[in-house]
Structure 1
Amino acid sequence: MEYLIFHNTEQHQFELKVDEGEAVLEYFLNHDTMVITHTYVPHILEGRGMGAALVRKALEFASEKNLKVIPVCSFAEAYIKRHPEYQSLTNEN
């Protein structure tokens, strides 16, 4: 499913809002690196692919801006491991 994700640059997060609640991916920038710190999906919204959509959007942003990515968030780290097309964004390759 395709979701509308808002990039809140002031709060350093990607936001996905639906009637039942809001899912969020938080990050901070350190020079040329995006550090993904947390992905939050309310329990009621789990299993709909929202976390994956948020991580994908953040990684696309990082790629467009030529940023390296450090996935401190375990969900983001697992997503990158499962999707080789994004592994070049990390320093682990």
Structure 2
Amino acid sequence: MSNPALRNNQDKHRYELIDDDQVLGYAEYNMMGDAVMFTHTEIASEHEGKGYGSQLAQKALDDVRSQHKQVMPVCQFITAYIRRHPDYIDLVTPDSRRAFKI
């Protein structure tokens, strides 16, 4: 598995996981004040099962943390990732934790 880079494509409102200028997958978001609301995550079918979804989630959440913002995990993949990696729970407000059962 390669180590692709993260690109915040603000024009398309999505984080992209890229390798040699090829988009391997993306996590769409909307800005909600001081929170990033993740709405959908998708990995290109030819790259599924290679761990790129987890890399994308980790890198995107790390970027949100570096901006001192909160996360609203509407996307089921991002919600599941945070459940499996409790070190990201602090990014989710208590109300959102209850709403998304984190």
TM-score of the aligned structures, taking structure 1 as reference length: 0.87
Q: 1:52 aligns with which of 21, 34, 54?
A: 54
1:21 positional shift: 5.8
The 5-angstrom pairing of residues 18-37 of structure 1 reads: 18=19, 22-37=24-39
**Identical pairs, percent:** 35
Measure, in 1, the Cα distance between the counterparts of 2:73 and 2:56.
Answer: 13
What 5-or-longer segments of structure 2 have no aligned partner?
Answer: none
Q: How many residues align?
A: 93
TM-score of the aligned structures, taking structure 2 as reference length: 0.80
- For the structure 1 residues 90 and 17, does the alpha-carbon distance in structure 2 shift closer, same or farther, using more than 3 Å as the test? same
Higher relative contact order (CA 8 A, sep 6+): 1
Cα RMSD (Å) of the superposition?
Answer: 1.9
Measure, in 2, the Cα distance between the counterparts of 1:75 and 1:65.
Answer: 21
